[in-house]
Amino acid sequence: MSSVLKYFSGLFTGIRSLLTGMGETWKELWTKKVTQQYPENRDTLVISDRFRCELTMPHDENNEHACTACGICQINCPNGTIVVTPKMIETEDGKQKKILDTHKWDLGMCTFCNLCVITCPSNALKFENTFENAVFNREKLKQQLNHEGSKMREKKKEPVAPKVEEKETPNA
Amino acid sequence: MILNYSQPLEITNLTSWLDTTLRSSMSEFWVLLIEFVLVGVVLLAAYAVIALILIYAERKITAFFQARYGPNRVGKWGLLQSVADMIKILLKEIIKINRSDRFLFFAAPVFMIVASMLTFGAIPFGKGLNAIDFNIGVLYVTAVSSLGIIGVLLAGWSSNNKYSMIGAMRSGAQFVSYELSAGFALMTIVVLAGTMQFSTMIEGQRYCWNLFNGHISSMIAFIIYLISGHAETNRGPFDLPEAESELTAGYHTEYSGLQFGFYYLAEYLNMFIIASIATTVFLGGYMPIQVHGWDAFNGIMAMIPTYVWFFGKTAVLIFLSLWVRWSFPRLRIDQLLNLEWKYLLPINLVNIVLMVILVLTGLTLTDLFPGLF
């Protein structure tokens, strides 16, 4: 007897749950569509700030960057995307000083792992969310990050540790 | 109120005009020959066009269920998308598989398409718009539509591929099982309608659809027919032959180009055929909604051409099928066979007996309220 009961109760609970499911999908049919119509909605498109697309070296209004040409980013880069070329100059007081000549980055090789940004001791690098990076030639993917004629920002003896904390690097 | 033939929008006007014009100028033999060819061409064209429309509709509705827009780049609202897909599939290469049974391999899709074409030809699309009107229409449709499974089994066998073979066997098991239920559900209504001829059956549903006439028994038969019809078309949640992870694409894994197109076309057309048979048998076919005594209302309803009624009702059922497809999780093979053999078939058998009792004791709606229905 109980098996007969089980048969019918199973049947009817099954039908009920199926109808519930159909009710849910019916509601879903009328929800707002989430498709991003990309090329048309470029003006209103929102890309998350933390989305990593393009490595940049922020320059301030005096065309100064923070890179000391230490080469830590190059060492940390897992697949050799970054090539830092330093050069030696002589300062006014006659000291030899290593400054940045070129900071080259190859987008085509980059895995966007963010290690260069995390490990940079002077916060010189940043990943931007500009995602339209398609070009017709692989050579165009190789970029020089420091601007023409830029120089290093003079340090104001700021402690390095708090700066590291400021960076939003939960993966670090 | 009888549908009058002076309606300007009915295609019957055109066909009868064509017939009289041809008969006035040539002998019986040539008239029939020309008409047969014309009917064949029209059916083939309708077959292709309906498939294209269905593919578009399915993609659009599927997208809406998933909060997407679906195809919307080719033409206005993506209307030309399925045309573009058709051109692409026509241009694709038909790959010959090494060590396959060449003859059967090429014959299989033809079986599939011929079976669905034969069924398609028997559907009454509107008043006077059925190519053939057997007195055993229901039996013919059930018999002919089951031929398609030969195509599936042959495809699986001749591909010489274990995935195709397993997919075909699954599909065969599924099809043979559910064919039984679909047949029994139709038989229930045959008991009610007292005829197997589609035109008589539709005429009998003028004021009361078979779905309501046999109330509880008809409803059960309708639901069972929809479920088993849906399962016969091998579409989700019953899409066992197409299991990407374990069987790749099932029985049509090895097919390419137009041959794959045949399977694709037949799958969509089978969905349409199931919906249209359900419309004809349960929902009054091409008959407009008519109510006893409301002559003005009946007149207005009859103004709408019968083929519009037919395609409208069919579209509702097709939408239902898509809705089910995107609501329910996919079944396992044992659950699938459980559903058929332990639930649908016993219920169906009891249902036929119930229907016989309803008809014999005069408990159908037409018997209970003769003036109303």
Task: Select from B151, B152, B142 the least CA-distant residue to B111.
Answer: B151
Higher pLDDT, A126 or A1: A126
In chain B, % of residues over pLDDT 70:
97
Tell whether the model's pLDDT for residue B23 goes beyond 50.
yes
pLDDT (tens digit per residue) in A22-50: 998 998 888 888 888 888 888 888 888 88
Tell whether the model's pLDDT for residue B91 goes beyond 70.
yes
* Cα distance between residue B10 and residue B126, in whole Å: 8
Tell whether the model's pLDDT for residue B273 goes beyond 70.
yes
Tell whether the model's pLDDT for residue B148 goes beyond 50.
yes
* Cα distance between residue B289 and residue B99, in whole Å: 57
Chain A CB contacts of B65 below 8 Å = 25, 28-29
By Cβ distance, the residue of B65, B326, B328 closest to A18 is: B328
What local confidence, expressed as pLDDT, does residue B1 receive? 40
What local confidence, expressed as pLDDT, does residue B32 receive? 86
Task: Select from B334, B339, B358, B218 the least CA-distant residue to B282.
Answer: B218
B20 interface with A at CB cutoff 8 Å = no
Burial environment of residue B99 by CB neighbours within 10 A (0 to 12, 13 to 18, 19 or more): exposed
What local confidence, expressed as pLDDT, does residue A172 receive? 45
Indicate the average pLDDT of chain A: 84
Tell whether the model's pLDDT for residue B80 goes beyond 80.
yes
Indicate the average pLDDT of chain B: 84
Question: Mean pLDDT over residues B61-88, rounded?
Answer: 87
What local confidence, expressed as pLDDT, does residue A83 receive? 92
Question: Mean pLDDT over residues B69-84, rounded?
Answer: 86
Tell whether the model's pLDDT for residue B241 goes beyond 80.
no
pLDDT (tens digit per residue) in B30-56: 888 888 898 889 888 988 898 889 889
Question: Mean pLDDT over residues B238-258, rounded?
Answer: 77
B4: Cβ–Cβ under 8 A, 6 or more apart, which residues? B302
The residues facing A54 across adjacent strands are A128
Higher pLDDT, B190 or B134: B190
B67–A34: do the CB atoms touch at under 8 Å? yes
- Residue B339's CB is within 10 A of a number of other CB atoms, namely 20
What local confidence, expressed as pLDDT, does residue B198 receive? 86
What local confidence, expressed as pLDDT, does residue A159 receive? 55
Residue A108 token pair: 């085509």
In chain B, % of residues over pLDDT 90:
6
Q: Is A142 helix (H, G, I), strand (E, B) or coil?
A: strand
Tell whether the model's pLDDT for residue B261 goes beyond 50.
yes
Chain A CB contacts of B66 below 8 Å = 28
B341 interface with A at CB cutoff 8 Å = no
Tell me which H or E stretch contains B81: helix B81-91
By Cβ distance, the residue of B69, B328, B343 closest to A35 is: B69
pTM beyond 0.90: the answer is no
Would you place residue B316 in the very low, low, confident or very high pLDDT band (cuts 50, 70, 90)? Answer: very high
Q: Is B180 helix (H, G, I), strand (E, B) or coil?
A: helix
B67–A25: do the CB atoms touch at under 8 Å? no
Q: Is A34 helix (H, G, I), strand (E, B) or coil?
A: coil
Tell whether the model's pLDDT for residue A53 goes beyond 80.
yes
B327–A25: do the CB atoms touch at under 8 Å? yes
Tell whether the model's pLDDT for residue B362 goes beyond 70.
yes
* Cα distance between residue B57 and residue B117, in whole Å: 21
pLDDT (tens digit per residue) in A102-143: 899 998 889 999 999 999 998 889 898 888 888 998 888 888
Question: Mean pLDDT over residues B301-317, rounded?
Answer: 86
Q: Yes or no: say if B230 and B185 are a contact pair by the CB < 8 Å rule.
A: no
Tell whether the model's pLDDT for residue B6 goes beyond 70.
no
In chain A, % of residues over pLDDT 70:
89
What local confidence, expressed as pLDDT, does residue A1 receive? 66
Which letter, b or e, does each residue of A56-86 get, where b requires 16 or more Cβ atoms within 10 Å of its Cβ?
bbebeeeeebbbbbbbbbbeebeeebbbbeb
What local confidence, expressed as pLDDT, does residue A97 receive? 86
What local confidence, expressed as pLDDT, does residue A136 receive? 92
Which letter, b or e, does each residue of B257-277 get, where b requires 16 or more Cβ atoms within 10 Å of its Cβ?
ebbbbbbbbbbbbbbbbbbbb
Tell me which H or E stretch contains B342: none
What local confidence, expressed as pLDDT, does residue A161 receive? 54
